[in-house]
Amino acid sequence: MPPSPVSFERATMLARLADETFDVVVVGGGITGVGVALDAASRGLRVGLVERDDFSSGTSSRSSKLVHGGLRYLQNREIRLVYEGLAERQRLFKLAPHLVKLLPFMIPILTRDGVINPKIARALGSAMWMYDLTGGVRIGRFHERLSSEEALAHLPTMSADRLASAYLYYDAQTDDARLCLTVARTAAAHGAVVANHAAVVGMGKDASGGVDRVMVEADGRRFDVRTRLVVNATGVWADDLRALDEGTHPSTIRPAKGIHLTVPWTKVRNDIAVVIPVPRDKRSLFVVPWGDLTYVGTTDTDYDGPLEEPQCTPEDIGYVLNALNHAVTTKITPADVTGTWAGLRPLVKAATSGRTADLSRRHSVTTSGSGVVTVTGGKLTTYRRMAADAVDVAAARLGIGEPSRIARIPLLGAEGYTDPPPGSSEATHLASRYGSEAPLVEALLDSDGSLARPLVPGLPYLRVEAVWAVRHEMARTLDDVLSRRARARILARDDSVAAAADVAALLAPELGWDRAETQRQVDQYTAAARAERTSAGLPEAYLAAALAPAAPAPGRDGADRAQAPAGRR
């Protein structure tokens, strides 16, 4: 009999937040916030965490889903940043082997009028060696120079007459929302009191002017959470939270919008990730396989719109499709796009203006006069380093000398995990998401065979995962399940809308929804997904049609495509 899952029950968590006094209250349930909670709890601190929406619902579910050093940062001579990123990549291979998987990347070397630019070729070669020295040695993988024929085998839709050769190197891929949720649950396993859909609406101060409580609103009621110190880990909303403390509205964050779009894999046929150049621009885009789909991104542009639900625009879609169609011979149109997502990076403002793509991804930790510690900047890969630095500052203010232990703490599902043998697509899929906890999900599946059906037709997620998400992962809404516990909205937006009523009916008895609430959840999800499509100027497209059988690429059957975070048949 498999062991019981870690307690992650929201009603209990909310009651404890109202009743207990904490050393640290973390505001923000993105990857940085949950990392801070895990780091602080593992040092023996009493930790609470509140998230206004759902875990990872902001930037942390809308990244490129890569765990990497950032090859392009070498161009900006940020060698230390790359080194730190690759060191964190190596840690995550050990601490979350079920969630973080090695992924080969290819950079094609293209010709212009049949001639290779020798300067570009030399620069790429030098960058590859530097990347090997800073990270490849750790994983025993080094870059290779590929012939044009070898490169075409990895991306057979590429134009052969422009391809001179390519470089192959290695990084890693993860489901960012899954990683964030797993860190949150691991923090709870170490004693942190964690709750989503709980918004901070105010702060209180003691007689000396130090913040000693936050006012939280959850489920229509307000209560105070008492604490010795607050850590602000709200990402692009950091200045909004600081305004509750400082009385003015600081301006320290420069949001940068990154967008991705998803197309059927049959349109691209890449068995590894590929870096493609953007015509007439100094940027590149990633083309990354994910199961039967491929996603492409990211852009990097200044953003001054609403921070909630940033949208892809027709211009964004045109920019990405133009680059993709410049690299492949298949004609990919907006009608082929099955999903999109836009995220905002919380870049720390620089003293000088310039492109957001050129701003550093370094993080910053500051402390206000009332003792609120704010951590901003950084990226998904370096969340552990950001968390440790923030808790170091918090612990010093609290007079606690315990060092960080987070670099040695396996995430839930890691201990005892081994890659499943080839064969069962169901076992492989569940193992890639739950690791050594997969038997717990399988036990639930054994109790009700109907839960083995797909959650959304055409995608690998099972109905059992939605039930598990409500019972053990604090999913509270239809969007929590379809957008983050499963990634249906970003992979197959319109198909997820078509399945929304069925999924809501599955969740209703678990969450105590009556008929009116069930319909409200469906309507709300449908409206958000359709607004997303309308903002991007995309026609309706259903995945079942988009994935119609096509002739296989010469010499390939798709079986050796890279392992996707969402699981693979």
Structural domain includes residue 566: no
What was the pLDDT predicted at 71?
78
Does residue 434 sit in the same domain as residue 530? yes
Give the CATH number for residue 14: 3.50.50.60
Does residue 199 sit in the same domain as residue 289? no
**pLDDT, mean over the chain:** 90
SS3 402: coil
Q: pLDDT band at 396, cuts 50/70/90?
A: very high
Contact (CB, 8 A) for 274 and 105: yes
Structural domain includes residue 354: no
What was the pLDDT predicted at 567?
36
Does residue 161 sit in the same domain as residue 246? no
Structural domain includes residue 557: no
The number of domains in the chain is 3
Give pLDDT tens digits for 220-275. 999 999 999 999 999 999 999 999 999 888 899 999 999 999 999 999 999 999 99
Structural domain includes residue 504: yes
Vertex 524 angle, CA 523 and 525, to 5°: 95
Among the ranges given (49-53, 116-120, 384-388, 471-475), the one the predictor scored with the smallest mean pLDDT:
116-120
Q: Please indicate whether residue 281 or residue 14 has the higher confidence score (pLDDT).
A: 14
Among the ranges given (25-34, 44-53, 349-358, 423-432), the one the predictor scored with the smallest mean pLDDT:
349-358
Beta strands 293-297 and 301-302: pairing type? unpaired
CA 422 to chain CA centroid, Å, is: 27
The tokens describing 277, both together, are: 């150049």
Share of the chain above pLDDT 70, in %: 91
Give pLDDT tens digits for 1-11. 456 788 899 99
Ordered DSSP codes for 77-121: T-HHHHHHHHHHHHHHHHH-TTT-EEEEEEEEEE-BTTB--HHHH
Q: pLDDT band at 283, cuts 50/70/90?
A: confident
* Mean pLDDT in residue range 287-316: 94
Among the ranges given (28-32, 75-79, 259-263, 382-386), the one the predictor scored with the smallest mean pLDDT:
75-79
Does residue 202 sit in the same domain as residue 341? no
- What is this structure's pTM? 0.93
Q: pLDDT band at 549, cuts 50/70/90?
A: very low
What was the pLDDT predicted at 473?
98
Beta strands 144-147 and 230-232: pairing type? unpaired
The tokens describing 104, both together, are: 């080969």
CA 39 to chain CA centroid, Å, is: 20
Quickly tell me which residue has 């929804």 as its tokens. 513
Helix axes of 31-42 and 176-189: crossing angle, nearest 10 degrees: 20
CA 167 to chain CA centroid, Å, is: 26
Contact (CB, 8 A) for 204 and 228: no
**CA–CA gap between residue 181 and residue 407 (Å, rounded):** 18
Q: Which domain holds residue 35?
A: 10-60+177-252+359-408
**CA–CA gap between residue 246 and residue 366 (Å, rounded):** 13
Does residue 110 sit in the same domain as residue 186? no
Structural domain includes residue 2: no
Residue that finishes a domain, picked among 348, 371, 399: 348
Does residue 270 sit in the same domain as residue 160? yes
Contact (CB, 8 A) for 18 and 163: no
Does residue 438 sit in the same domain as residue 501? yes
Give pLDDT tens digits for 446-492. 999 999 999 999 999 999 999 999 999 999 999 999 999 999 999 99
Does residue 284 sit in the same domain as residue 135? yes
Does residue 316 sit in the same domain as residue 389? no
Vertex 231 angle, CA 228 and 225, to 5°: 50
**CA–CA gap between residue 430 and residue 567 (Å, rounded):** 7
Structural domain includes residue 554: no
Residue that finishes a domain, picked among 348, 371, 400: 348
SS3 363: strand
Contact (CB, 8 A) for 131 and 449: no
Beta strands 101-110 and 163-173: pairing type? antiparallel
Give the CATH number for residue 318: 3.30.9.10
| Residue 327, pLDDT above cutoff 80 | yes
Structural domain includes residue 301: yes
Question: Which amino acid, 213?
Answer: R
What was the pLDDT predicted at 541?
59
Does residue 379 sit in the same domain as residue 263? no
What's the Cα-to-Cα distance from 569 to each of 28, 128, 190, 564, rounded to whole Å? 35, 32, 34, 10
Structural domain includes residue 80: no
What's the Cα-to-Cα distance from 453 to each of 171, 450, 461, 463, 529, rounded to whole Å? 33, 6, 9, 6, 23
Contact (CB, 8 A) for 368 and 242: yes
| Residue 357, pLDDT above cutoff 60 | no
Give the CATH number for residue 488: 1.10.8.870
Give pLDDT tens digits for 500-543. 999 999 999 999 999 999 999 999 999 999 999 999 998 875 44
* Mean pLDDT in residue range 199-213: 97
What was the pLDDT predicted at 2?
56
**CA–CA gap between residue 42 and residue 50 (Å, rounded):** 18
Q: Please indicate whether residue 460 or residue 424 has the higher confidence score (pLDDT).
A: 460
Does residue 137 sit in the same domain as residue 277? yes
What was the pLDDT predicted at 117?
65
Q: pLDDT band at 113, cuts 50/70/90?
A: low
Helices then strands, counting H and E runs in the chain, come out as 18, 20
Does residue 449 sit in the same domain as residue 536? yes
